Structure 1
């Protein structure tokens, strides 16, 4: 009886021991599984964090590369822009320099003969017979000689002369030659009247100073002083006729200038520039009414063509002569 109980007890204890071992092994396994899961999850986390770090590193390196690329692009763009600006500036400078150079050459070439004329006028006295037809231009046989019947002495001052050529055109038309041609035509018109005596300041191509011209007029007891000239300027656009009197004169010059301008414009078709007052040396301190007629602009090609035309010259001379006669009649 006792033995049986012991056996059963042993068996029970064995069973308990077995069950205990099973539980322990199960617990151990579960712990191992948990530890494995923990390790795996840790590894996964580490892997994920590693991947994240790797991605972050890749992104940062990619950004750096992009920044580097953007920086190079900006440098290239900036360099191209500078080159383009430099090229445009160079072209503009060349255009401006070329334009100024062309204008300068044109300006100098147009005024050089007149600068030379002013320089020569300071020396004066020399005779320049180039481009002058003495057989025709200086023929004054038709001019009436002074007689006892003459009552009115009219002094016609021929502008320029000698080295003082006045304005010179590109085709070598000289003011001094046209001044003499017009003055001689005026003298011929006036010589038709018995009561008029005409005195020319010069009848050949010689230089005369302003003082010499005025002294000659005073010595000849001139009643009127009429100086004949052409004009010129640099644009080539100015044109027309203008009559000038001395600024502030009290000898009747203003009235004479107004009447002369009206008379000339009645005979020719030209721009009416009216009358003007200037302090011109050839008009200064004259005792008689004195005027300075600018018959037209040689610098204007259209007007130069008219001024060198014989018929136009005749009409211009008639207008000047009529202005003189009208003033004489008005003073009677």
Structure 2
């Protein structure tokens, strides 16, 4: 083989080698951009989630006073309502897929809104089981209601779907086998919530949740939406949606108390 042919063969090999390197570099560049895009998207979403959370908390704090000061005070009120934001402290409750949105935080935000609205009623005294991120056992929540002799108990929670993300809507539970007016109370609140927010009506159901089982008065537990559903997560983080939901709960409680007085 001639020297010229050897040179041509080497040049071809060098060109192929360079081409392969260029292809690999381009591939690595495209992969880096794709990964970076995913990372950026997640980062932006996390920042937005935190921003939404801060906005909601700021709104609640501006509206809310220390309701725990109401406990054990005889204010000459006609009715006493215990508002019970579920979970708290080391009990996070359910959460979204990325574990950045916690049930205990949203139930506190909604609970404060409900308590604040009820406290504006001249004939209603409000007790709230917690105003910050602390753990209270279900038994202690029911015990507080019993010791304070409240007329009704409203426990606020969020739902989760096992292995899926399509379940949605609001449902209200009352004590299984209740012989008081818990069922009627659940019906009243469930009905008004549905009239205030556009969501699936999952109806009322019986259960033996301890906070219901151990309480001596009409008591309900409201599952306000699903933290496994992306659409409902967005709503439940929205201050305006929370306020409308809280208004629906409040009006349901007041409707029941009015009918009870008759």
Please name the residue that 1:168 is paired with: 95
By how many angstroms is 1:192 displaced? 1.0
After TM superposition, give the deviation of residue 246 of structure 1 in Å. Answer: 1.4
- Pair 1:253 & 2:182 matched: yes
The 5-angstrom pairing of residues 102-181 of structure 1 reads 136=58, 140-141=64-65, 145=70, 148-169=75-96, 170=98, 172-181=100-109
Residues 142 and 188 of structure 1 are in contact (CA less than 8 Å); yes or no, is this contact kept in structure 2?
A: no
> Of residues 236, 239, 243 in structure 1, which corresponds to 2:165?
236
Give 1:135 deviation, angstroms.
Answer: 7.5
Aligned-partner SS, 2:211: coil
Q: Which secondary structure state, in structure 1, belongs to the residue aligned with residue 212 of structure 2? A: coil
Paired residue for 1:192? 120
Compare 222-231 and 166-175 and name the one that shifted more.
Answer: 166-175
What TM-score do the two structures reach when normalised by structure 1? Answer: 0.58
Equivalent position of 1:322 in the other structure: 251
Deviations 1:100-148 (A, max 9, x none): xxxxxxxxxxxxxxxxxxxxxxxxxxxxxxx889984556328595562
* Higher alpha-carbon Rg: 1
CA distance in 2, matches of 1:317, 1:244: 17
Structure 1 pair 310–138 and aligned structure 2 pair: CA distance change class (3 A): closer
> Hey, what does 1:264 align to over in structure 2?
193
User: Take 2:99 and 2:240, find their aligned partners in 1: how far apart are those partners?
Assistant: 21
Q: Normalized per residue, which structure has more helix?
A: 1
Give the whole-Å Cα distance in 1 for the aligned partners of 2:57 and 2:107.
Answer: 17
Structure with larger RCO (C-alpha < 8 A, sep 6+): 2
- The answer to whether residue 146 in structure 2 is matched with residue 218 in structure 1 is yes
Distance change in 2, residues 1:133/1:314 (3 Å): closer
> In 2, Cα distance between the equivalents of 1:265 and 1:203?
26
**Structure 1 position 308 matched with structure 2 position 237:** yes
| Residues 215 and 155 of structure 1: CA distance in aligned 2, closer, same or farther (over 3 Å) | same
- Report the CA distance between 1:285 and its aligned residue: 3.4
The 8 Å contact of residues 156 and 224 in structure 2, kept in 1 or not, is answered as yes
Q: 1-side partners of 2:168 and 2:241: how far apart?
A: 15
1:80-106 Cα deviation digits (max 9, x unpaired): xxxxxxxxxxxxxxxxxxxxxxxxxxx
The separation in 2 between residues aligned to 1:326 and 1:291, in whole angstroms, is 14
- Alpha-carbon RMSD across the aligned residues, in angstroms, is 2.1
Residue by residue over 1:251-310, the C-alpha shift from the partner in whole angstroms, topping out at 9 and shown as x without a partner, is: 211111111110111110000000011121111032100100000001000011011111
- Do 1:251 and 1:287's aligned partners in 2 also have CA atoms closer than 8 Å? no
Aligned length: 202
Q: Secondary structure of the equivalent of 2:256?
A: helix
2-structure distance, mates of 1:165, 1:171: 10
Structure 1 unaligned spans of 5+: 1-130
CA contact (8 A) 1:149 1:194 kept: no
- 8 Å contact 2:75–2:125 — kept in the other structure? no
CA distance in 2: counterparts of 1:305 and 1:203, whole angstroms: 23
On the 8 A contact 1:154/1:222 being kept in 2, the answer is yes
* CA deviation after TM superposition for structure 1 residue 249, in Å: 1.0
